[in-house]
């Protein structure tokens, strides 16, 4: 008998994602002006207010208030009726210097022996059920909201959208663990107050079904077979959704870790990503394990694969690497033996992860909405401004952990 599986996503205007994006914008600016910065920055957003807190060790100074305002403006909170607006919200900074007790475990005389910034376990996952090796339900959930955000910015076909929204997709799988159809789509979108409640809800439902969904089908034709008239839709199921964003719900950095990763597939070690520089293995090792899992699946080792790595604070070598192929392995060795071969291919000491994936670059703002995994690797040029230093123009590679650059090495190691 088959089964149902559900994943959700949230838009860049969701309160928690606003917090993530502000935290990662601060990371990018610190790294742009001082690549050796050590940063752990948390953000809280609520009605008309932003609070920044955390620890920093850096040789640069930033206008953190302006950075936060620029992020809020870019997301789309630019109207006073939202009760949270880029130019008028209050911003309180409680950022202070990083504890030397922590720093002494990370910085070492030999950079290659750089210790892990914290203890913990991190997971990477990949499946060949999609072209980007991501779980299908999450991939669809992200794409629905990315397209909805495009419609909001175009302000042409749909003119009442506000920045806050959520999506959820439930898939039906067959006995062979293959997705067969979309059973349910849930979309809740913030909107202007443009009429009586019944008329607004009818208009929003029609626009989602007749404008958003056809755009998804046209843009992603490889998913078109999943869409049909039998899909059950729940559009703004609670009713009107005028009050939203930080005015409707307080947002905090790090509260959407499942949206950020695999939508509930695989596993998660519990550590958030946004607001952390790459010395924090919560972030860097999670990227590294995704890189391993994706390249292993792409090389044909298995159809589905989970990688776990764990660390002790201040210690360079991981405590161990674990592999689970969920019975989908294509090679005649145990998962434990696969893990031992993987240890010989990928150096999982923090310094080498940073170097391999080029993580000491300002690449994090792009990760802070619509998932850190499954994104397209690309090279971009970014400009960073500071009232204290000359502007920096930096060319960086985004989403390096999504590159399939180890497939040949893996095939050679596993004789594929």
Residues found in the chain: 416
Residue 348 lies in a domain: yes
Q: Judge whether 286 is annotated as a binding position.
A: no
Q: Does 276 carry a binding-site annotation?
A: yes
The yes-or-no verdict on residue 101 having pLDDT over 80 is no
239 — alpha (psi -120 to 50), left (phi > 0) or beta?
A: left
Would residue 143 count as lying in a domain?
yes
- Residue 331's domain spans which residues? 120-128+279-414
Q: Within this chain, do residues 323 and 222 fall inside the same structural domain, yes or no?
A: no
> Which pLDDT score is estimated for 112?
75
Q: Is 382 annotated as a binding residue?
A: no
In the prediction, which pLDDT does 113 show?
80
pLDDT for position 152: 98
- 42 assigned binding-site residue: yes
State which of 229, 245, 261 marks the end of a domain. 245
298 and 410 part of one domain: yes
pLDDT tens sequence across 44-67: 999 999 999 999 999 999 999 999
255 annotated to a ligand binding site: yes
pLDDT in tens, 372-416: 999 999 999 999 999 999 999 999 999 999 999 999 999 999 999
165 marked ligand binding residue: yes
pLDDT of residue 108: 62
Asked whether residue 192 is marked as a ligand-binding residue, the answer is no
- The percent of residues above 70 in pLDDT, for the chain, comes to 97
The arithmetic mean of pLDDT across residues 190-202, rounded, is 97
pLDDT at 107 over 70: no
87 in any annotated domain: no
Q: What are phi and psi of 112, to 5 degrees?
A: -65, -20
Q: Is 249 annotated as a binding residue?
A: yes
Q: Mind listing the pLDDT tens digit for each residue in 114-141?
A: 888 889 999 999 999 999 999 999 999 9
Residues 295 and 368 occupy one common structural domain: yes
- The number of folded domains in the chain is 2
Q: Is 14 annotated as a binding residue?
A: yes
pTM score > 0.75 for this model?
yes
Query: Known binder of ligand: residue 268?
Result: no
Examine residue 99 and state whether it is found in any structural domain, yes or no.
no
**135: how many CB neighbours lie within 10 A of its CB?**
26
Question: Is residue 46, in this structure, part of any structural domain at all?
Answer: no
The CATH number of the domain where 348 resides is what?
3.30.300.10
């Amino acid at each position: 008998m088959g089964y149902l599986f559900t994943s959700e996503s949230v838009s860049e205007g969701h309160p928690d994602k606003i917090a993530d994006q502000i935290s990662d914008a601060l990371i990018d600016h610190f790294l742009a002006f001082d690549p050796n910065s050590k940063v752990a920055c948390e953000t809280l957003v609520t009605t008309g207010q932003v609070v920044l807190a955390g620890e920093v060790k850096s040789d640069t100074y930033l206008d953190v208030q302006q950075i936060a305002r620029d992020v809020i403006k870019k997301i789309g909170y630019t109207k006073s009726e939202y009760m949270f607006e880029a130019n008028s919200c209050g911003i309180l900074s409680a950022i202070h210097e990083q504890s030397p007790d922590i720093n002494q475990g990370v910085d070492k005389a030999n950079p290659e022996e750089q210790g892990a910034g914290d203890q913990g376990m991190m997971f990477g996952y990949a499946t060949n059920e999609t072209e980007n090796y991501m779980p299908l339900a999450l991939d669809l959930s992200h794409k629905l909201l990315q397209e909805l955000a495009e419609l909001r910015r175009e302000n042409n076909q749909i003119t009442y959208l506000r920045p806050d929204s959520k999506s959820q997709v439930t898939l039906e799988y067959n006995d062979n663990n293959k997705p067969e159809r979309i059973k349910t789509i849930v979309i809740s979108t913030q909107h202007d107050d443009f009429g009586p409640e019944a008329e607004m809800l009818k208009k929003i439902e029609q626009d989602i079904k007749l404008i958003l969904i056809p755009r998804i089908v046209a843009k992603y034709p490889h998913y078109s077979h999943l869409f049909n008239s039998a899909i059950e839709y729940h559009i703004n199921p609670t009713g009107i959704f005028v009050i939203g964003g930080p005015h409707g719900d307080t947002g905090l950095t790090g509260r959407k870790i499942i949206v950020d990763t695999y939508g509930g597939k695989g596993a998660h070690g519990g550590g958030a990503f946004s607001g952390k520089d790459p010395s924090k293995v919560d972030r860097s090792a999670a990227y590294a394990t995704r890189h391993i899992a994706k390249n292993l699946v792409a090389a044909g080792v298995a159809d589905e694969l989970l990688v776990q790595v764990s660390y002790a604070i201040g210690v360079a070598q991981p405590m161990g690497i674990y592999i689970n192929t969920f019975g989908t392995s294509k090679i005649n060795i145990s998962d434990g033996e696969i893990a031992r071969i993987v240890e010989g291919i990928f150096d999982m000491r923090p310094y080498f992860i940073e170097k391999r994936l080029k993580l000491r670059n300002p690449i994090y703002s792009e990760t802070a909405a619509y998932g850190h995994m499954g994104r397209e690797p690309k090279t971009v040029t970014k400009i960073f401004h500071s009232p204290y230093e000359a502007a920096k123009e930096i060319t960086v590679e985004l989403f390096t952990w999504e590159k399939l650059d180890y497939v040949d090495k893996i095939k050679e190691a596993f004789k594929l």
